């Protein structure tokens, strides 16, 4: 028996039971049966022709007008049949497009990954984990002359626009002349690029810093990004690394304030995305102090081990379900 | 989690009373209600956030979009009643400097 025969038989059973007893239960079964019809990709006019076939068998003496009316109904259903097939083919195409987009977006993300550079003076640790397939967090290291530039950004918005935005940021950063590598000027430049090119409810938060080995200074500026921390080894204390400024992409004329800090041997600069402090546990949010105490717990390890251990503990606290992308970067001055 | 939006209108002033969370799941719903209101020239949209205990960056994006739209359409957008946690993310992102936020912030829980 073919699948179609089986459907015909089942339809005939349901219909004759209903015509005899007219119960709600059978009506409900009819409703469920329509799902089966959709699964089998039975089009609307196929169903009408199925109905005609069954009625012919159940009522061989059906009046001619009744019989003809079904033929008429069949013709009137043709348009719905076309719509149904079009819907199916669009759905297939949509699924195909979605998977292509996913592949493209993740490919781009791989291309944009920044290598952690070798830098004699600094021990560098990085962990960046997406909550979903696409990471909205972006980090970038660039060695320029003897200095090291580091950027952390959080792109608000998902999918293709966010992925394109990320490459826009990367190439805008790469193409800036060296004298523009001052963090506050870099943010002003990027802000103009972003403001012109993103749609209205998208924006980017970014922290940018430059470590200069000659002066042992860390120059930085922020565009609405979650503040990082600086650890001073001499006094054994963590301080917020506050860098005030409006997020990128809101107002074309925004200016950013330059900040600087002296980094001594053993000091750490800690940068993060808001995913780190917006971590939620069953007991509430994780506060910044808790992040500090986690870093403190592991800070005698190499920087890479510190960030990985902190991530694992936070992940466990959240029941291994990241709600937001997570990025944590530690720069520790060794000599 | 859910977001509840209650709307009142007095003359040209639309007030939105929000309760719940504004995150990636509920942000589209808020955008759908709020954005058309900011597109009415000369109108005022007041958003009461005292019932919001969590807002993420996608939620913030809706307010950024509404701010841009109100500037483009000569309408005004005012926010009020932020809890400390919500106020913090407006402060970090620098949006408190460019948005009309009514003072008299309420604490986390009453």
pLDDT tens-digit readout, A301-335: 999 999 999 999 888 887 766 666 788 999 999 98
B53: which chain A residues are within 8 Å (Cβ-Cβ)?
none
C-alpha to C-alpha distances, A164 to A149, A169, A171, A299, nearest whole angstrom: 22, 9, 11, 36
∠A205-A136-B19 over CA atoms, to 5°? 75
| Claim to verify: residue A304 and residue A213 sit in the same structural domain | yes
Nearest partner of A49 among A82, A85, A11, A16, judged by Cα: A11
CA A183 – CA B6 distance, rounded (Å): 43
Q: Are B80 and B49 in contact (CB under 8 A)?
A: yes
Whole-number average pLDDT of chain A:
86
A324: which chain B residues are within 8 Å (Cβ-Cβ)?
56-57
Q: What was the pLDDT predicted at B35?
A: 92
| Residue appearing with tokens 């608000």 | A156
Q: Is A108 a domain residue?
A: no
Q: Is A187 a domain residue?
A: yes
Tokens linked to A20: 């005899």
CA A95 – CA B5 distance, rounded (Å): 33
Nearest partner of A261 among A307, A215, A205, A299, judged by Cα: A215
Classified as helix, coil or strand, B71 is helix
CATH number of the domain residue A20 falls in: 1.10.1240.30
CA A69 – CA A47 distance, rounded (Å): 15
| Claim to verify: residue A324 and residue A225 sit in the same structural domain | yes
Q: Could you write out the DSSP letters of every residue in B23-35?
A: STTTHHHHHHHHH
| Claim to verify: residue A150 and residue A63 sit in the same structural domain | no
ipTM exceeds 0.85, yes or no: no
- Chain B contact present for A37, CB below 8 A: no
Q: Are A194 and A157 in contact (CB under 8 A)?
A: no
| Claim to verify: residue A59 and residue A174 sit in the same structural domain | no
Picking from A56, A76, A96, the residue at the C-terminal end of a domain is: A76
CATH number of the domain residue A135 falls in: 3.60.40.10
Chain B closest CA to A195's CA: distance in Å?
11
Q: Is A168 a domain residue?
A: yes
Identify the structural domains of chain B with CATH numbers, from first to last.
Answer: 19-101 (3.30.750.24)
Is residue B109 very low, low, confident or very high in pLDDT (cuts 50, 70, 90)?
very low
Q: Are B60 and B32 in contact (CB under 8 A)?
A: no
| Claim to verify: residue A179 and residue A283 sit in the same structural domain | yes
| Claim to verify: residue A142 and residue A251 sit in the same structural domain | yes
Q: What was the pLDDT predicted at A183?
A: 93
Closest chain B residue to the Cα of A247, Cα to Cα: B93
Q: Is the pLDDT of residue A283 over 70?
A: no
**For residues B83 and A283, which has the higher predicted lDDT (pLDDT)?**
B83
| Claim to verify: residue A279 and residue A232 sit in the same structural domain | yes
- Chain B contact present for A223, CB below 8 A: yes
Over residues A242-249, the mean pLDDT reads: 92
DSSP β-bridge partners for residue A219: A210, A260
Q: Is A100 a domain residue?
A: no
Q: Which of A224, A244, A253, A277 would you mutate first to test chain B, the one with the most B CBs within 10 A?
A: A224
| Claim to verify: residue A24 and residue A163 sit in the same structural domain | no
Domain total for chain A?
A: 2
Domain hosting residue A14, numbered range: 3-76
Picking from A47, A76, A105, the residue at the C-terminal end of a domain is: A76
Q: Are A265 and A335 in contact (CB under 8 A)?
A: yes
């Amino acid at each position: 028996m073919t699948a179609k025969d089986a459907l015909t038989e089942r339809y005939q059973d349901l219909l004759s039971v209903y015509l005899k007893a007219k119960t709600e239960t059978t009506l409900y079964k009819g409703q469920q049966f329509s799902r089966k019809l959709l699964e089998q990709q039975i089009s609307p006019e196929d169903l009408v022709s199925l109905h005609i076939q069954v009625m012919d068998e159940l009522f061989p003496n059906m009046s001619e007008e009744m019989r003809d009316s079904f033929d008429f109904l069949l013709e009137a259903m043709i348009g719905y049949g076309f719509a149904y097939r079009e819907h199916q083919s669009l759905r297939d195409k949509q699924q195909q497009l979605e998977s292509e987009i996913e592949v493209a977006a993740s490919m781009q993300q791989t291309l944009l990954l920044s290598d952690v550079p070798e830098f004699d003076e600094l021990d560098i640790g990085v962990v960046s984990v997406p909550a979903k397939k696409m990471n909205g967090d972006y980090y970038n290291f660039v060695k320029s002359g003897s200095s090291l530039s580091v950027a952390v950004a959080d792109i608000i918005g998902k999918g293709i626009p966010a992925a394109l935005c990320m490459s826009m940021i990367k190439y805008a950063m790469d193409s800036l002349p060296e004298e523009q590598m001052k963090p506050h000027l870099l943010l002003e430049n990027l802000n103009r690029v972003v403001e012109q090119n993103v749609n209205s409810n998208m924006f980017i938060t970014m922290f940018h810093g430059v470590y200069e080995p000659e002066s042992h200074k860390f120059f930085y500026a922020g565009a609405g990004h979650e503040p990082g921390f600086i650890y001073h080894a001499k006094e054994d204390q963590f301080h917020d690394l506050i860098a005030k400024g409006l997020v990128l992409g809101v107002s074309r004329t925004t200016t950013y304030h330059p900040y600087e800090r002296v980094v001594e041997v053993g000091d750490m600069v800690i940068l993060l995305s808001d995913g780190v402090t917006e971590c939620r546990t069953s007991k509430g949010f994780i506060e910044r102090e808790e992040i500090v105490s986690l870093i403190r717990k592991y800070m005698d390890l190499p920087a890479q081990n510190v960030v990985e251990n902190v991530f694992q503990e936070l992940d466990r606290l959240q029941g291994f379900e990241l709600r937001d992308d997570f990025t944590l970067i530690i720069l520790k001055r060794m000599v | 989690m859910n977001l509840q939006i209650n709307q009142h209108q007095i003359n040209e002033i639309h007030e939105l009373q929000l309760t719940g969370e504004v995150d990636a799941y509920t942000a589209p719903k808020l955008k759908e209600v709020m954005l058309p209101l900011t597109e009415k020239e000369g109108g005022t949209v007041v958003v009461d956030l005292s019932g919001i205990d969590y807002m993420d960056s996608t939620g913030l994006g809706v307010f950024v979009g509404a701010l841009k739209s109100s500037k483009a359409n000569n309408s005004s957008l005012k926010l009020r009643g932020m809890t400390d946690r919500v106020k913090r993310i407006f402060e970090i992102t620098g949006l408190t400097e460019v948005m009309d936020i009514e003072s008299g912030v309420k604490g986390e829980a009453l």
